[in-house]
């Protein structure tokens, strides 16, 4: 009986190391089929899961309460599993170089608790070569076992889109890879238990690693192109959205829009590719240029706010700017690498301390990570400027009257409305006489 069959018969267990936006949905989904151990070093997070609370909002409180996942922060429990999935974050350092600390730490933890006959699969985004050149040696050193003989290793990049209720874990095709064909088939069979869209067997681990960083880099570049156009069109007095709507009438238009590119994937993964390319002596041109453009968009929006405040005859230093949204994208509490922060920092250069409203974001995380105090919508009144920075459903449902109630009692010509996500009807807003700007 092979490992896959033992998992099905519940003679062996699967562990998920790292229970965030990626690991939690994976653990809960597998728990419907097999026995799962969910491990995370964050004691507070584990306690929340045990209480049936999902801070990620990816699977919801009800499913957390119902799941059979065994939640633990005791690494010794990992010994009870034979199939391990690593789903820890892979952020970047302040100098934009890869921070492999979490994935190295997870490798040490698993290595200390690795048993013969196990399979370890990495889902964390890395540049090509990390799994085999960095992670496997750690596993071998910590366990005293030999990869390929005592245990096997694979790589299956995560493709979860936080906050997306359409493209879910189960209906996104899964890339799988491994050090040999035998373990590749086992890994593919295991993932096929939960991935309805099926799996794609990559020819090598490096191919699978590269596919992940490239698919996000491609999206990053396309958005960067639209962002560059939006900056130029702004100088020309041309509405970018109207240009895109016209362009999209052609069958082969790609349909990308300008925007703030943050988060743990698109805003990070290209730097992993750039880092490894430069180690090999190749200086990225297109990918790095795209990153520079996208990293500058927060400041660009900040400057647009200042310009509109001046046009509205507002005293910039004394202006009250209300920013709706802090998370890196809509309908998720995830604030990692949010580019809304860049707008805030730009305004602070003009001695403006904006008021931030975000009903989705975690207030404690916002305070800890960014030093930002989130406020309730009721505290966002008497604004000189309102910025729609994130397209949360709560903000999209606001009526014109709701929006107007956020402003000071003055003529509409003195009310500045910044629509970063282009969620408002431009004609309706401009007919009312607001100082309106959209990206």
Which among 215, 214, 203 is positioned nearest to 277, based on CA atoms? 214
Which residues sit opposite 437 in a β-bridge?
418
Distance of CA 199 to the CA centre of its chain: 22
Distance in angstroms (rounded) separating the CA atoms of residues 127 and 211: 10
Helices 205-236 and 286-295: angle between axes, nearest 10 degrees: 50
Distance in angstroms (rounded) separating the CA atoms of residues 21 and 84: 17
Q: Give the torsion sign (CA, 412, 418, 424, 428).
A: positive
> Three-state SS for 382?
coil
Which residues sit opposite 407 in a β-bridge?
383
Distance of CA 200 to the CA centre of its chain: 23
Question: Which residue shows structure tokens 């974050």?
Answer: 89
Contact 87, 17 (CB under 8 A): yes
Contact 154, 178 (CB under 8 A): yes
Q: How many residues does the chain have?
A: 439
351 backbone φψ class: left, alpha, beta (φ>0; ψ -120 to 50): left
Catalytic annotation, pick one of 73, 135, 147, 265 = 265
Is residue 385 among the annotated active site residues? Answer: no
Distance in angstroms (rounded) separating the CA atoms of residues 181 and 159: 23
The helix (H) or strand (E) run that includes residue 430 is helix 426-431
Distance in angstroms (rounded) separating the CA atoms of residues 32 and 7: 12
Helices 240-247 and 205-236: angle between axes, nearest 10 degrees: 120
Annotated catalytic residues are: 265
């Amino acid at each position: 009986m092979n490992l896959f069959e033992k998992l099905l018969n519940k003679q062996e267990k699967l562990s998920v190391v790292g229970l965030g936006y990626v690991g939690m949905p994976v653990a809960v989904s597998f728990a419907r089929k097999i026995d799962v151990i969910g491990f995370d070093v964050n004691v507070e997070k584990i306690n929340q899961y045990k209480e049936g609370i999902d801070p990620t909002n990816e699977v919801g409180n009800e499913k957390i309460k119902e799941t059979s996942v065994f939640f633990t922060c005791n690494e010794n429990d990992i010994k009870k599993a034979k199939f391990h999935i690593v789903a820890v974050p892979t952020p970047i350092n302040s100098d934009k170089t890869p921070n492999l600390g979490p994935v190295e730490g997870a490798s040490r933890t698993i290595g200390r608790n690795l048993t013969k006959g196990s399979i370890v699969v990495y889902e964390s985004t890395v540049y090509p070569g990390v799994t085999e050149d960095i992670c496997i040696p750690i596993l071998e050193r910590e366990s005293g076992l030999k990869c390929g003989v005592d245990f096997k290793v694979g790589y299956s990049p995560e493709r979860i889109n936080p906050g997306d209720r359409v493209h879910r874990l189960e209906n996104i095709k899964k890339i799988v890879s491994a050090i040999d064909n035998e373990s590749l088939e086992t890994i593919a069979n295991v993932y096929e238990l939960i991935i309805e869209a099926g799996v794609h067997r990559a020819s090598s681990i490096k191919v699978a690693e590269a596919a992940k960083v490239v698919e996000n880099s491609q999206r990053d570049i396309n958005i960067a192109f639209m962002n560059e156009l939006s900056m130029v069109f702004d100088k020309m007095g041309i509405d970018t959205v109207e240009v895109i709507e016209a362009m999209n009438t052609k069958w082969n238009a790609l349909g990308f829009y300008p925007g703030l590119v943050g988060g743990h994937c698109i805003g990070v993964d290209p730097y992993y590719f750039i880092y490894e390319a430069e180690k090999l002596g190749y200086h990225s041109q297109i990918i790095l240029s795209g990153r520079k453009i996208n990293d500058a968009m927060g400041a660009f929006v900040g400057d647009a706010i200042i310009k509109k405040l001046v046009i509205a005859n507002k005293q910039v230093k004394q202006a009250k700017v209300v920013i709706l949204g802090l998370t890196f994208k809509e309908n998720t509490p995830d604030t990692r690498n949010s580019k809304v922060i860049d707008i805030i920092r730009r305004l602070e250069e003009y001695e403006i301390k904006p008021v931030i409203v975000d009903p989705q974001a975690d207030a404690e995380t916002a305070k800890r990570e960014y030093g930002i105090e989130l406020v309730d919508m009721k505290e966002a009144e008497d604004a000189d400027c309102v910025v729609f920075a994130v397209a949360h459903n709560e903000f999209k449902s606001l009526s014109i009257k709701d929006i107007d109630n956020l402003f000071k009692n003055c003529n509409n010509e003195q009310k500045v409305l910044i629509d970063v996500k282009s969620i408002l009807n431009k004609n309706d807003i401009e007919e009312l006489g607001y100082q309106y700007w959209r990206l």
